[in-house]
Structure 1
Amino acid sequence: MIFEQSWRWYGPNDPVNLATIKQAGAHGVVTALHQIPVGDIWTKEAIQERISQLDESNRLHPFKLHWNVVESLPVHEFIKQGKPERDHLIENYKESLKNLAACGVTSICYNFMPILDWLRTNVRYELEDGSTALLHEMVDVVIFDIYMLQREGAEKSYSEAILIQAKAKYESLSDEEIAVLKQSLLMALPGDKDGFTIEKLKNGLQQYDGISREQLQENLIYFLKEVIPVAEELGVVLAIHPDDPPWPVFGLPRIVSTAEDLKFIFEAVPSIHNGLTFCSGSLGASEENNLPEIIKTYYDRIHFVHLRSVNRVAPYHFYEANHLEGSAQMFELIKTFYDCHQTNQRVLPMRPDHGHEMMDDQGKPYYPGYSAIGRLRGLAELRGLEFGIINSLK
């Protein structure tokens, strides 16, 4: 076995319940304490309450689930911005790590994306078969940035050609299309009940005025040099998630987008506890990234795997494909993991990411990309591919 099959669960309020996750065939549960404000300490009591929810499910149905990865233990914006308050917030982060380790949870996914997590311009883009997927199109980002967000100096972030495209498309958009674009780009992150408004996003962007790519890199390394020694003592691994998409948005710098970015991070803090969440969709959105090479180069640092595929329509324009289709070349990725697995027999937690909304799930209140049936299809396809590769190469 190369992977431990896992499933992201947003907690008791997730429309996909634990019984459904068991029926999908996952053993690992990837979850987080979204109810705790970013920067506050995750107490042992709060962590144990989440574990007890899994234990109760296991008591009702003996098929065992366990919390194998935290996704995510979020990093406060003040840490990313390098503000004076960061030292106190980093101490809180260390305490959360200690409490997680004391409760037996030792794999931590996090990201260092300013303000926004993954960004899509249409979260229910209709495909030919009638299912819906997540779409990112840079022309739409430019439309939102200039005509809706009206970010000061936004025009300087884009080429003349794309500005002309954006102006022409904006003038042709219906009110409904504008509403879809605005709703998609201002969508709340999991656990954030309020979501974004234009004003809230503008205020957040202003906090990054003057913070360059190099400064953001320095702030990440400062954070890692503080927390990784603690992780080493605890036997905890941290796994940074790549930027999604892997290019600047709204003038915000990106620092975890390429193989060169990873090289910088891992050379600056060489401990193996400073690791990577390998996300084939985030890295794969850029044709510049050679995914099999990244796996081979950083395999020992990969502590968590997200498998999904995007279909690259054009530069900076993609939509989420079925897991075995699109640009990812999933056979090559899993075959590369298999080859690397032969060196040390590590079994990595893996979850299918961003399934299509399809069949009976359509129209239900799922967080986009996290409906049940689309991810079930993805998990089934990935399990079948893994099974085929393992058995054909024995």
Structure 2
Amino acid sequence: MEQTWRWFGPEDNVRLPQIRQTGATGIVTALHHIPYGVEWSVEEIEKRKALISADASLGLRWSVVESLPIHESIKIGKGDLAPLFDTYRASLRNLAKCGVRTVCYNFMPVLDWTRTQLAYALPGGGTALRFNYHEYVAFDCFMLERPGAEEGVSDEVMAKARAWYKASTEESRNILLANIMAGLPGAYDRYDVPGLRKMLALYGEISREELRENFARFLREVIPTAEEVGVAMCVHPDDPPRSLFGLPRIVSSAEDLDFIVKAVPSPANGITFCTGSLGAGAHNKVAEMARQFAPHVKFAHLRNVTKDPDGSFMEADHLGGDNDMVGVVVALLEEQKRRRDAGNDNWRIPMRPDHGHELLDDVGKPTHPGYPIIGRLKGLAELRGVMQAVSQLKGLPL
């Protein structure tokens, strides 16, 4: 698998020479400064490519776009969407012209990944990302005051949520809001409580089925263009794979992934297989899903989580946690061999270590939450060892 690294662009405190020291050669990045719904021009794409390749001795290339965002109006499915679809297709054509042909994206309404703690203390002084279900419930019920937020919440969790809110200060409530907003990467908007209420209201009574149809419409509009220009689109799963703030989630299970790949059958309609996002759902058996959907996987995020019975979870060591990471690696390496044997020139699947712990000298540094260099380097080294061992033992190409 091609070893890649997420880089947030020239403002990222992790620099390109440091990334090369990790052993990664593929860069995963996006033009975060361009607003949603605005075309990515050839000029802007080439400018980012030039930054990545400026030092030829590093041997780095822009391997994957993460993400080419979808305007919220497309997800809602209202208004004149034709210009937005035109713009998205134009961006895909421009990326293809510049030789960037793998595009990760998501269809999560309003928010991307969601955590309630960004610096959960680990033994020895490191930190991890964590989702505490009772803190999320406290936010939803008592800060956001969303109608119906208490539905489906157990008495035990509600009691913990109420106790947390009662003991909270204005500062701790502001920290919780900031933590929940931190999953919006780059320069995207953050919401205060009134702003989040306003965004949620835009979805009104949109059902899971309606959101699914809006997604299928997006696929019908853009996948033919992606196939025409040789771009692989790969949807990222919901994180976590459950409804949040009353919003439906539609990329959360094997049944969801099956719906997506069948909605518009095409080699351009693929999946970003994120073991951490899918693995945060007790209903998902991640290694089995990797085998089931391997032919559709265009990009892999490899990380692990440890789940609690109440629905909370924490980012674990890459080879720790609840997910069978070795089983996932075997499935992906076997799929690579199938592609190579079938004569596919682009048979390698790009992968990256995801959401590392904050460790050693990284503790307290101003990096994007979940993206310190040392924790991800540790994860990549562990995953590289697994890939090498599996490759030698089973005779599979790396």
TM-score surpassing 0.5? yes
Matched, 1:212 2:210: no
- State the partner residue of 1:168: 163
Displacement of 1:157 after TM fit?
5.5
Given the alignment, which residue of 219, 240, 248 partners 1:224? 219
Question: Amino acid of the residue matched to residue 348 of structure 1?
Answer: I
TM-score, normalised relative to structure 1: 0.95
- Indicate the residue corresponding to 2:42 in structure 1: 44
Partner of residue 367, structure 1: 368
Return the match for 2:146 from 138, 151, 164.
Answer: 151
Give the distance between the partners of 2:228 and 2:181, measured in 1 at CA. Answer: 40
- Residue of structure 2 equivalent to 1:108: 103
Following the alignment from structure 2 to structure 1, what is the Cα–Cα distance between the partners of residues 171 and 37?
A: 37
Residue type at the aligned position of 1:376: L
Report which stretch shifted further, 348-357 or 177-186.
177-186
Letter in 1 for 2:386: L
Q: Deviations over 1:146-174 (max 9, x none)?
A: 11112233223634443233223333446
- Give yes or no for the alignment of 1:180 onto 2:178: no
- The gaps in structure 1 that reach 5 residues or longer are none
Mapped partners of 2:47, 2:371: distance in 1: 23
Aligned residue identity for 1:349: P
Q: Distance in 2 between matches of 1:316 and 1:185?
A: 16
* SS of alignment partner, residue 156 of structure 1: coil
Paired residues, what number? 389
CA 267–315 in structure 1, closer or farther in 2 if over 3 Å, else same? farther
Q: Deviations over 1:47-70 (max 9, x none)?
A: 000001112132xxx130000100
Give 1:176 deviation, angstroms. Answer: 5.4
Of stretches 173-182 and 304-313 in structure 1, the one that deviates more from structure 2 is 173-182
Q: By how many angstroms is 1:188 displaced?
A: 6.4
Say if 2:329 is the partner of 1:319.
no
The partner residue of 1:269 within 252, 256, 264 is 264
Q: How does 1:278-317 map to 2 (within 5 A)?
A: 278-317=273-312
User: Deviation of residue 191 (structure 1)?
Assistant: 2.2
In the TM superposition, residue 296 of structure 1 has moved relative to its aligned partner by 1.5
Q: Which residue of 1 is the match for residue 344 of structure 2?
A: none
Distance 1:371 1:180 in 2: 20
Which amino acid is 1:334 matched to? V
**Cα deviations by residue, 1:181-227 (Å, 9 ceiling, x for unpaired):** 23211336222265221121111111011111100000000010010
Contact 1:242/1:256, CA 8 A, preserved across alignment = yes
CA distance in 2, matches of 1:337, 1:320: 22
Match for residue 75 of structure 2? 80
* Matches of 2:153 and 2:183, distance apart in 1: 26
Cα-to-partner distance string for 1:110-149 (whole Å, 9 max, x where unaligned): 0000010000000111112321111012111110011111
Structure 1 CA distance for aligned equivalents of residues 348 and 330 of structure 2? 14
The structural deviation recorded for 1:310 is 0.4
Higher alpha-carbon deviation: 150-159 or 212-221? 150-159
Aligned to 2:9: 11
Structure 2 counterpart of 1:240: 235
Name the stretch that deviates more: 109-118 or 306-315. 306-315
Which is worse superposed, 198-207 or 235-244?
A: 198-207
Which residue, out of 19, 22, 25, partners 1:21? 19
Aligned-pair identity in percent equals: 47
Instruction: Between 19-28 and 169-178, report the one with greater CA deviation.
Output: 169-178
Provide the C-alpha distance between the structure 2 equivalents of 1:145 and 1:198, rounded to a whole number of angstroms. Answer: 10
Contact residue 111 and residue 183 of structure 2 kept, 8 A = no
Q: Deviations over 1:250-296 (max 9, x none)?
A: 00100000000111111221112110000000000112112122112
Moved more, 345-354 or 158-167: 158-167
Partner SS, residue 330 of structure 2: helix
- Residues 188, 196 of structure 1: 8 Å contact kept: no
For residues 376 and 55 of structure 1, do their structure 2 counterparts lie closer, same or farther at Cα, with a shift above 3 Å needed? same
Q: Distance in 1 between matches of 2:197 and 2:282?
A: 30
Deviation of 1:336 (Å):
2.1
Contact 1:108/1:239, CA 8 A, preserved across alignment: yes
SS at match of 1:70: strand
Is 1:142 the counterpart of 2:143? The answer is no
Q: Aligned-pair distance for 1:313?
A: 2.1
RMSD: 1.5
Shift of 1:77: 0.2
Contact 1:157 1:251 in 2 (8 A): no
Residue matched to 2:358: 357
Name the SS for the 2:73 alignment partner: helix
1 CA distance for matches of 2:178 and 2:32? Answer: 21
SS of equivalent residue, structure 1 residue 16:
coil
Change (3 A) 1:95 1:244: same
- Whether 1:391 and 2:392 are equivalent positions in the alignment is yes
Residue aligned with 2:352, SS: strand
